[in-house]
Structures are given as C-alpha cells and as structure tokens.
Amino acid sequence: MRQLDFISLIHKELTGEILSEESLLLAEWLKSDPVNMETYEDIKAIWNTSTSYNAPFTPNVTLAFQKQLERINSEKVHTPKVIRMKPLKWVSAVAASFIILFSALVIWNYYNDDIYSASNQIVNITLDDGTEVWLNKGSEITLNKDFNNQNRQLTLKGEAYFDVERNENLPFVIDAGEMSIKVLGTEFNVRSLEYTTQSVTVKEGRVQVSSSESDVIITEGQFASLEDDGSLRSGEYVDQNELNWKDNLLTFDDTPFNEAMDDLSSFFNTEINTSGIISDCPITYTKSVDSDLETALTVLSKAYDLDWTVNPNGGYTVTSVSCD
C-alpha cells in the first residue's frame, strides 16, 4: 500500500469509519516503523485541535482542496495580504488552516513520489506501467515523480521480485542502496536487506547491475552479488529460495547450515546471528505456508539439536547445531 493509503486509513479511524480488516492493516503499519507512529500522532493532534473549535462558518473543503492544488501546481509568488480578524474568527481560521494544510500535504505526496510498503506479509503490486512487483515482508519501494511518463525509476529498501513490462523508450531503473539495476523488460529478484549480502537473481531476460566499482550484465539463471570492496561477483545461481519466497515457499534439501540460516533471515527479514558457527551440516526442511520464524527454528531445533535465543533487538542467535 502507498503512504497515501495509510493516511486515508488514519482519517477513517479518526472519523470512526474504519473497517476491522483496515484497522489491522493500520496497526501493522504503525508497528513497522517509529516514523509511521509519529505521522499518526501528528495527524491525530491536528485533527483533535481542529475539531475542538466551534467555527462560526462552515469551510468549503472541496473548494479548499482545489485552491490548494492550484497553488501547488503554480510557481507564482504572490504578495501576502494582511487581514485583521476578530479573536473568534482567528481561532476558527487557524483550525481551518490545519485542515487545509493537511489536505495540501496529502495532495503534495500524491503528486510526487509514491511509496508502497509491506509490513508483515508479502504484497503484490501492479505499477502504472504494467510491471508486477512482489514486496517481501518489511520492504518498501518509492517511485520517482513522473514514473511511467518521463522515467521508470524507483528506490528499493528490502527485497522485491519484479516482472517488468517491456518499454525500450523508458528503461526500468532500480536504486538498491549500493547497487543500481537497469532493464528493459524481464523477471528478476533484488535483495537489498540489512542482514544479508545484496544480490540480483535473474529468472528471465537480461539485467545490467552496477556498483561503485564495477558493472556486470547477467542473464537467465545467473546472479550478481555485492562484495565487501564494492565490486560485483556473478555466476550461476542454485538457491531456488531466492525466487520462491514470493509464493511463500521456503525449502531446504540438504542445504548447508549457514546458507539455510541466510535464507531464513532473508525470508523473514530478521537478523539471525550464527555466533561464528561455520558448518556444512545439511539441512532438510519445508516451511508450511502459515509458519513464522520461531516455528521454523523450533522444528529445526528438534531435528538438528539447534539451540537458539531471542535477542533484545528482536533478532535471533543460534549457538549450536549438530547433524549427529
């Protein structure tokens, strides 16, 4: 969902019109980022301030929206006109200005960058150009202004799978932190998570990946990953979990322990510290559709004597594993 959609949900909650399922979505969004909670509190404070006044007039909200939109789209500078007002009218005008300011902020966000985010579930989005995007949990994309008109550029935080609609006149460009990805039309996965190596994996087509130190072109069945020195390493990928997560699938078939922990960390977008353990212990496991990370670790602990604890920051630490 876009930031604007969540602001709309906040408005519904304040007016008592929010549905139960919408309330759950709003609650997840508020928990996902402290900035979201600050936004909510700011809007709520403005709302409470504006509703506490008994205005001697009823503002025309529709007209106010239209006038503010015209002001945003215009770059003309007008000399302000000073009007002296009676105290009661001044208070009412302040309340009305809060409402208009809030409306202007919403309109401004709408006509500039669009933000789509996924909190605790995988989200499927179709962009204006026809490109289909699957956002992994805790991930976010921000579309540049004029997306699909003068550019097809966006910024990714987290992990996303893209099925890009071909357009030779407007290349599809992704800013993923220390990597940049450029394509015309293809299917690929981009992983730009905090706890794992940044990488791009191609299912179909051809992708150009760039970093501060190098550029590579990868095709179907290949990957590119970012090294510590800023260079890119490429090769054939063998880990299907890099593509299967969008279907909520996670399967280990004699997968080395450290690779399995990396996949679990990426899938749930949660840090898993292996305490320096380096093990080729082969892990076999298939995640059920509705299981969470703690369920997965509990199942693995029974099969592989895997000991783990919950960290204060919400991540996990694995202290031992055995294949005997």
Q: What value does the mean pLDDT take over residues 63-85?
A: 52
Q: How far is 166 from 170, CA to CA, in rounded Å?
A: 9
Predicted local confidence at residue 82, as pLDDT: 44
Q: Tell me, yes or no, whether 160 and 60 share the same domain.
A: no
Q: Tell me, yes or no, whether 132 and 234 share the same domain.
A: yes
CB atoms within 10 A of CB 202: 23
Q: Tell me, yes or no, whether 207 and 104 share the same domain.
A: no
- Containing structural domain, residue 140: 115-241
CATH code where residue 121 lies:
2.60.120.1440
Radius of gyration for the alpha carbons in the chain, expressed in angstroms and rounded: 24
User: What's the pLDDT tens digit per position in 15-49?
Assistant: 888 888 788 888 888 887 777 887 888 888 877 77
Q: Is the overall model pTM greater than 0.75, yes or no?
A: no
Length of the chain: 324
User: What's the pLDDT tens digit per position in 154-201?
Assistant: 999 999 999 999 998 999 999 999 999 999 889 999 999 887 889 999
CB atoms within 10 A of CB 156: 22
Q: Tell me, yes or no, whether 93 and 192 share the same domain.
A: no
User: What's the pLDDT tens digit per position in 282-305?
Assistant: 999 988 767 788 999 999 999 998
Q: Tell me, yes or no, whether 217 and 254 share the same domain.
A: no
> Phi first, then psi: what are they for 221, rounded to 5°?
85, 5
Give me the number of domains the chain comprises: 3
Angle at 292 between CA 261 and CA 7, to 5 degrees: 115
Choose the final residue of a domain: 241, 272, 297: 241
Q: How far is 226 from 215, CA to CA, in rounded Å?
A: 11
Predicted local confidence at residue 64, as pLDDT: 61
Choose the final residue of a domain: 217, 241, 265: 241
How far CA 179 is from CA of 102, 160, 229, in Å, comes to: 36, 14, 13
Q: What value does the mean pLDDT take over residues 101-117?
A: 60
